[in-house]
Amino acid sequence: MSTQTREPVRSAKRRRTGVSNRTDWWALVMIAPATIGLAVLYLWPFASTFLTSFMNVPAFGPGQFTGLDNYARLLTDGDFWRALRNSGLYTGLVLLGIPIAIVLAALIQQVSRGRAIYRVLFFLPVVTLPVAVGMVWRFILNGDFGLFNWALSLFGIPGQYWVADDRFTIYAFAAVGIWMTLGINLIILGAGLQSIPMDLYEASSLDGAGRIRQFFSITLPLLSPTIFFVMILSVISALQMFDLVFVMLGSINNTAIDGSKTIVYLFYEAGFVQFRQGDAAAIAMVLLIIIMAATAVQFRLQKKWVVYE
Amino acid sequence: MSSIAVRATAPGRPAPSRRGEWRIHVILVVAAALMVVPFVWEILASFKTNAEVSSLPPTILPEQPSVRGYATFFDSVPFWAQFGVSAASLVMRVVGQVLVAALAGYAFARLRFPGRNLLFVIFLLMLMVPSQLFLLGQFEIIRDVGLLNTIPALAIPGIFSAFGTFLMRQAFITMPREYEEAARLDGAGPVRTFWSVMLPMARPTVAALAVLTSLYSWNDLLWPLIVTPTGDARPLPVGLASMQGQFGTDYPALMAGALICTVPLVLVFLFLQRQFFAGIASSGLKG
């Protein structure tokens, strides 16, 4: 009965959308490459990482299921907790770049000339090889003759070994991380600003609202969905930070590396330097859980501050 | 809408709030200068001598400009070979991904087949999983098929992208159906309709996706590090990082190398700014 009533509707819809039965077969052909690739190179590796995280896999030969051993070992491993703390601190610090990006995006929006040039200049770090970025900043932040310490000395502030002392390395990474991602955030926030209707500003300035007032009562609330989006993306990518650790410390045998590893650096080391695949898989699973939890928490909190029309 | 029209018809008339604009420019110029300082410092240092870059207080302009840093870089790093690897893997990945994603995106957007929605949900779920979860398995596959230390190893996983598929689907789904119907009335089959009508219309999205994928491909470090442990198929980021391991304190040479490896993509960016911005605005996703 139900199929009888559904069939005519379905074929009527089909006629209306003009998709014939023959096209369905083409759809399978068209979708096959993406589906096979996704299954082989993404779904299978994901399943394999999940399973491996419960296994002890020697360098050669088959692995053995060992239950939660890998996870238990991680939880008692000081290096792992250190990496969690480092990644968490880095992520928190990088979020401080978002207010900077909001203010700059709003300012760029306000000027009538030179917008294109500002956008290009702020975007340059995004199209710069991260390895090159790390190298340049390692030079600038050098404790003995770096430009940054010299600039601090002009203000009478004593310099530090920013990339050689693990009390400071995460802060150094975060400064570079903010510099690197500012351009991305500016572009996304700029697109959000464009969608705010101009009339709102015109009406409020007729009512006597100044620019600062407009920023807080029009720009920020109406931009809040975009800010939320930028936060989600920033947290996800900051939790996966690897390049800066590798380039600024890891590839040059800097002793500060021991206290400066992030989660993904630890994963790389376990999986592809020391070939402890079970541990690497467990680290990756923990990373997945952390990223999902961080995203879920932000979605929870958004109800408190994101304004939807 | 009306305000946009007003602004477009009277561009010469400054809005009332534009009067104090120079103050905004002061802030923006200072901020932009801070952004650019590292690049300037990199360029200046690349022409200095090793003694000069480590002198205090630092000199701004090179006292005895020298290209020794560049010579050291080109002597110690097979730049052109690595440039070739980076470029070839980029082309392979970008062309492959755009094709695969456009085909699948079109099928998801327009064609009917059993399990379409379920499959699409699986694609969306994959979008949320960080790339590290795939690396161990992808490495095993690449190793087992004997592709370690080859250019295809660098490109293959990136050809298949849930994000690309999603982006292309969104592009196709917003297009008016009339074009396809007109094409079919003219006797075009689905393949012809896709290739000659729909794909050309999706050109802005294709461009944004291509540019974004190029950016990831050119900049990626972790995956190349994993699949090119030795050998000749090292792309620029890996080559540059290993050069740093070798010449850790020869800053003029390191800066010269960093600069040269950065220039190609910066040039592409300067020519294709709009596509870069569109690509970033459509995703913002890193990696």
Residue B53 CA to residue B59 CA, distance in Å, equals: 8
Residues of B in contact with A47 (CB under 8 A): 137
Q: Say if the Cβ atoms of B177 and A125 lie within 8 Å.
A: no
Q: Say if the Cβ atoms of B237 and A129 lie within 8 Å.
A: yes
Quick one: average pLDDT of B156-169?
Answer: 94
Q: Say if the Cβ atoms of B137 and A202 lie within 8 Å.
A: no
The verdict on B195 touching A (C-beta cutoff 8 Å) is no
Q: Which residue has the higher pLDDT, A211 or A185?
A: A185
Does residue A225 have a cis peptide bond before it, meaning omega lies within 30 degrees of 0? no
- What residues are paired with A56 via a beta bridge? A64
In chain A, what percentage of residues exceed pLDDT 90? 67
> Domain count of chain B?
2
The verdict on B42 touching A (C-beta cutoff 8 Å) is yes
Residue A162 CA to residue B168 CA, distance in Å, equals: 44
Residue B14 has pLDDT above 60, yes or no: no
Q: Indicate whether B59 and B91 sit together in one domain.
A: no
Residue A226 has pLDDT above 70, yes or no: yes
pLDDT of residue B253: 94
pLDDT of residue A24: 67
Residue A231 has pLDDT above 80, yes or no: yes
Q: Say if the Cβ atoms of A18 and B134 lie within 8 Å.
A: no
Q: Give the number of A-B residue pairs with CB atoms closer than 8 Å.
A: 308
Q: Count other C-beta atoms under 10 Å from residue B124's C-beta.
A: 13
Residues of B in contact with A124 (CB under 8 A): 35-36, 39, 266, 269
Quick one: average pLDDT of B166-183?
Answer: 90
Residue B199 CA to residue B196 CA, distance in Å, equals: 7
Q: Say if the Cβ atoms of A199 and B2 lie within 8 Å.
A: yes
Q: Indicate whether B83 and B62 sit together in one domain.
A: no
Show which of B66, B92, B121 is a domain's final residue.
Answer: B66
In chain B, what percentage of residues exceed pLDDT 70? 92
Q: Count other C-beta atoms under 10 Å from residue A86's C-beta.
A: 23
Quick one: average pLDDT of B270-275?
Answer: 92
Residue B25 belongs to some domain of the structure: yes
Quick one: average pLDDT of A206-234?
Answer: 90
Q: Indicate whether B90 and B35 sit together in one domain.
A: no
Shortest CB distance from B241 goes to which of A22, A247, A288? A247
pLDDT of residue A42: 95
Residue A171 CA to residue A99 CA, distance in Å, equals: 18
- Tokens describing residue A212: 């600062």
Is there a contact between A226 and A101 (Cβ–Cβ < 8 Å)? no
Q: Indicate whether B156 and B237 sit together in one domain.
A: yes
Average pLDDT of chain B to the nearest whole number: 87
Residue A30 CA to residue A28 CA, distance in Å, equals: 5
Q: Indicate whether B43 and B137 sit together in one domain.
A: no
Residue B100 has pLDDT above 70, yes or no: yes
Q: Say if the Cβ atoms of B280 and A126 lie within 8 Å.
A: yes
- 3-state secondary structure at position A56: strand
Output b/e per residue, A168-196; b: 16+ Cβ within 10 A: bbbebbbbbbbbbbbbbbbbbbbbbbeeb
Q: Say if the Cβ atoms of A110 and B276 lie within 8 Å.
A: no
pLDDT of residue B247: 84
Q: Indicate whether B39 and B144 sit together in one domain.
A: no
Is there a contact between A30 and B111 (Cβ–Cβ < 8 Å)? yes
Residue A200 has pLDDT above 60, yes or no: yes
pLDDT of residue B18: 60
Q: Which residue has the higher pLDDT, A59 or B89?
A: B89
Residue B173 CA to residue A251 CA, distance in Å, equals: 46
Quick one: average pLDDT of B252-278?
Answer: 93
Q: Indicate whether B99 and B185 sit together in one domain.
A: yes
Return the ∠ at Cα A179 (arms to A174 and A183), rounded to 5°: 135
Burial of A308 (C-beta count, 10 Å sphere; 0-12/13-18/19+): exposed
Is there a contact between B94 and B217 (Cβ–Cβ < 8 Å)? yes
For residue A199, CA distances in Å to A204, A215, A227, B1, B103 come to 8, 14, 22, 9, 42
Show which of B9, B32, B66 is a domain's final residue.
Answer: B66
Q: Indicate whether B147 and B255 sit together in one domain.
A: yes
pLDDT of residue A198: 86
pLDDT of residue A10: 45
pLDDT of residue B249: 83
Residue B37 belongs to some domain of the structure: yes
- Tokens describing residue A210: 């100044």
pLDDT of residue A291: 95
Q: Indicate whether B225 and B267 sit together in one domain.
A: yes
Q: Tell me, what CATH number does B104's domain have?
A: 1.10.3720.10
Shortest CB distance from A19 goes to which of B111, B221, B245? B111
Model ipTM value: 0.88
- For β-strands A64-65 and A55-56, DSSP reports them as antiparallel
Residue A91 CA to residue A102 CA, distance in Å, equals: 18
**Structural domain of B50:** 21-66
Residue B253 belongs to some domain of the structure: yes
Average pLDDT of chain A to the nearest whole number: 88
The pLDDT confidence band at residue A112, using thresholds 50, 70 and 90, is: confident
Shortest CB distance from B262 goes to which of A49, A122, A128? A128
The DSSP output letter for A55 is: E
pLDDT tens, residue by residue, A81-97: 999 999 999 999 999 99
Which residue ranges form the domains of chain A, and what is each CATH number? 73-305 (1.10.3720.10)
pLDDT tens, residue by residue, B189-223: 888 889 999 999 999 999 999 999 999 999 999 99
pLDDT tens, residue by residue, B65-79: 899 999 999 998 899
- Tokens describing residue A2: 């139900």
Quick one: average pLDDT of A264-287?
Answer: 94
Shortest CB distance from B35 goes to which of A112, A114, A125? A125
Residue B187 belongs to some domain of the structure: yes
Residue B176 belongs to some domain of the structure: yes
Residues of A in contact with B54 (CB under 8 A): 144-145
Q: Is A159 left (phi over 0), alpha (psi -120 to 50) or beta?
A: beta
Q: Indicate whether B123 and B172 sit together in one domain.
A: yes
pLDDT of residue B10: 36
Residue A263 has pLDDT above 80, yes or no: yes
pLDDT of residue B285: 43
A14-23, A164-173, A235-244, B211-220: range with lowest mean pLDDT: A14-23
Residue B226 belongs to some domain of the structure: yes
The verdict on B212 touching A (C-beta cutoff 8 Å) is no
Closest chain B residue to the Cα of A101, Cα to Cα = B31
Residue A77 has pLDDT above 60, yes or no: yes
pLDDT tens, residue by residue, A116-160: 999 999 999 999 999 999 999 999 999 888 999 999 999 999 989
**Crossing angle of helices A97-110/A78-95, nearest 10°?**
20
Q: Which residue has the higher pLDDT, B19 or B158?
A: B158
Tell me which residue of A291, A95, A86 sits closest to A178, measured CA to CA.
A95
Residues of A in contact with B167 (CB under 8 A): none
Residue B6 belongs to some domain of the structure: no
Residue B7 belongs to some domain of the structure: no
Question: Half-sphere exposure of residue B144, counting CA atoms within 13 Å on the CB side?
Answer: 7
pLDDT of residue A202: 86
Q: Indicate whether B239 and B103 sit together in one domain.
A: yes
The pLDDT confidence band at residue B19, using thresholds 50, 70 and 90, is: low
Residue A62 has pLDDT above 90, yes or no: no
Q: Indicate whether B198 and B276 sit together in one domain.
A: yes
pLDDT of residue B4: 36
* Most B CBs within 10 Å, among A13, A14, A42, A149, to test the B interface: A42
